[in-house]
Amino acid sequence: MRTRDDIRNLAIIAHVDHGKTTLVDALLNEAGAFHRGEVATERALDSGDLERERGITITSKPTALTWKEHRINLVDTPGHADFGGEVERVLNMVDAVLLVVDAFEGPMPQTRFVTEKAVGMGLKIILVVNKIDRDGCDAHGAVDATFDLLVSLDANEDQLEFPVVFCSARERYAVEEPDDEDSPHLPISTILDMIIEHAPAPKVDLDAPPTMWVSTLHHDTYLGYLAIGRLDSGAIEPNDRLALIRPEPGTEPDVVKDCAEVFRASKLLAFQGLRRFEIQNAQAGDIVAIAGMSSLNVGDTLTDPDLERRRAFPALAVDPPTLAVRFRVNDGPFAGREGKWVTSRKLGERLFRELRSNVALEVQNTESADEFEVSGRGELHLSVLMETMRREGYEFCVSRPRVIVRENDSGELEEPYEDLVVQTDSAYSGAVIEKLGRRGGEMTGMEDNGNGRTRMEFRMPARGLIGYRSEFMTDTRGTGIMASIFAGYGPHLGQKRTRPRGVLIVLEPGETMTYSLARLQDRGVLFVGAQVPTYAGMIIGEHSRDNDLVVNPNVNKKFTNVRSAGADEKLFLTPPRVLTLEQALAYIEDDELLEVTPENLRLRKRYLDHNVRKRMEKQAS
């Protein structure tokens, strides 16, 4: 084994909105990795439309820079626990992690999730305390909290002796002592110097057969599949013959001799800044992309085609999903008006294709040929898939999300629980405690930090958090921060009604009229405005009482020659409540569906015909 001192491989991990993607921007800019005028916007690695709109990282992306004759490979990872499958697989490519922590918030639950994976793999920790320019921050307190976190995760002595740098990624400077106002500002490149000094160089065997574990993949229009990962041993050149091995879960990798295919590496690509460029040779320790295979899954192994020299990695293992929804063909009256792909065959192909790169997702066929059960890590994980599909032109219906329950050894039902951390202004803590108590939450800790903010910790069922985020932001007037992480399975709390009120259901097809909607406003809150096409069974609002009400919003005022007393009254409509995809998913009940099309989101009953719906309700009771 030899040490390649010219390379450092690191993953950047942090909680959502702690500034890791902004930090990558600053480091790439400092190292001159961008061409002139190449980066016109912030968060350069957040290349997807959804990532830019939501301000979060969804997929892991490798990049690289050159600093003081060292090549530093950086992998930007998601901070949300729903995309933990992305994190678990890319940690195989690196030898150290750059742990970014907000100086104000400290380590959050989802920081613990990713850090626990890194500690378990024995990776070196380098701590970056970010946002030291934020008012009310406690940079040294964040360091102490990180140390306590690593101790609780059984980190070894080397991991506990982590180097620390204090910085502001947005302002692009670092300091040695954040509490000292006279402390001189250092360049952000201080972090790069620390990486070279403290991150271990990869130890590789250059004489062994070439072997690479596919950590992530990409599909290019011209090159086809691109297998991205770190070359574990040996060397590869273009046109070299390679074997693609796909071990089944639970199979010993050493006994895997069958390969999915043997192919020639048509292209060999490396990363620099935002670009991929072609190279003629890759050695063990490099993070590269290889093209030429006809099929590819995350977790596959690329190795020597010689049967005696083959070596396979085990099948990639990730934490199981906790939430499931059913995708089905849109069978409503408006089906096919907006979408490009509307059949069950196209829907199934797209969902099963997602499994190749989204390792935390599970897709299963159901008793109906028109329905597919899709299981994921959480509400955000599934809603991002739905939003991506609707933008691609797919049209479908989804059911209400449900948690995946299981039976323990005693035959009792168990459901997933989550650890929730809430930070909010102290004046709103009472409302938060009351709402979470109704949803089955149990407070496990409470701390007042003395500046008007309260930190609370809860253990609660995962289904209790479905749809709570928007309610939480309303209750805390936008001042609250909440984060949760899967904590394990616990006792099932039985059936609970999630929605206290009924809905307003359309009687017959037509177009909504201001005249009708003005009269329905007293009955509840409307979800649609005037001149909106509707169909029988569609939900247009929330009833003010706990029962469903069938209404006709499509009646216009009758015009006659007789002047009525209220003829000149002007009608005013309250602006409708427009639900986002996540809010609509959380709102619907078991007998309802969310119709997702490229242009609209519609709530509807599962059975559109009123007579059929009444008959099904009688059978259920």
Domains in the chain: boundaries: 2-203, 211-303, 406-491, 503-620
**Pairing mode, strands 70-76 and 7-14:** parallel
Angle (CA) 19 23 24, round 5°: 125
Contact 339, 330 (CB under 8 A): yes
Instruction: Tell which residue, 31, 35, 94, has the closest CA to residue 66.
Output: 31
Comparing 40-44, 298-302, 314-318, 444-448, the range with the smallest average pLDDT is: 40-44
Token code pair at residue 511: 């177009």
State the virtual CA torsion across 215, 275, 288, 2 in degrees, nearest 10. -120
Contact 273, 65 (CB under 8 A): yes
Q: Phi and psi at residue 73, in whole multiples of 5°?
A: -90, 120
CA distance 592 to 603: 7
Q: Is 22 annotated as a binding residue?
A: yes
Q: Phi and psi at residue 67, in whole multiples of 5°?
A: -140, 120
CA distance 376 to 325: 9
pLDDT at 40: 41
Angle (CA) 345 603 493, round 5°: 95
Task: Write the single-letter amino acid at 293.
Answer: M
Q: Is the pLDDT score of 163 beyond 60?
A: yes
Give the tens place of pLDDT for each residue, 345-361: 999 999 998 887 777 78
Q: Is the pLDDT score of 441 beyond 90?
A: no
CA distance 424 to 328: 39
Token code pair at residue 579: 């639900």
Q: Is 124 annotated as a binding residue?
A: no
The continuous run of DSSP H or E covering 149 comes out as helix 139-152
Give the tens place of pLDDT for each residue, 125-136: 999 998 888 877
- At residue 33, the 3 state secondary structure works out as coil
Q: Is 21 annotated as a binding residue?
A: yes
Q: Is 464 annotated as a binding residue?
A: no
Give the tens place of pLDDT for each residue, 151-161: 888 888 888 88
Contact residues for 433 (Cβ-Cβ < 8 A; gap 6+): 443, 456
* pLDDT band, residue 63 (cuts 50/70/90): confident
Q: Is 433 annotated as a binding residue?
A: no
CB atoms within 10 A of CB 50: 15
Choice between 83 and 91, residue whose per-residue pLDDT is larger: 91
CA distance 59 to 123: 21
pLDDT at 301: 87
Give the tens place of pLDDT for each residue, 187-217: 888 888 889 998 898 888 888 888 888 888 7
Instruction: Tell which residue, 544, 421, 438, has the closest CA to residue 487.
Output: 421
Average pLDDT for 431-459:
85
CA distance 270 to 282: 9
* pLDDT band, residue 593 (cuts 50/70/90): very high
**The CATH number of domain 503-620, selected from 1.25.40.10, 2.40.50.250, 2.40.30.10, 3.40.190.10:** 2.40.50.250
Give the tens place of pLDDT for each residue, 45-57: 545 565 555 556 5
Token code pair at residue 21: 């993607």
CA 187 from centre of chain: 32
pTM: 0.75
Q: Which CATH class is domain 406-491?
A: alpha beta
pLDDT at 534: 94
Q: Is 133 annotated as a binding residue?
A: yes
Q: What is the mean pLDDT of the chain?
A: 83
DSSP codes of every residue in 249-309? TT--GGG----SEEEE--EEEEEETTEEEE-S-EETT-EEEEE--S---TT-EEE-SSTTT
pLDDT at 604: 94
Give the tens place of pLDDT for each residue, 327-351: 999 999 999 898 898 899 999 999 9
Token code pair at residue 441: 């939450």
* pLDDT band, residue 252 (cuts 50/70/90): low
211-303 under CATH 2.40.30.10, yes or no: yes
pLDDT at 468: 81
Q: 2-203, what's its fold?
A: Rossmann fold (3.40.50)
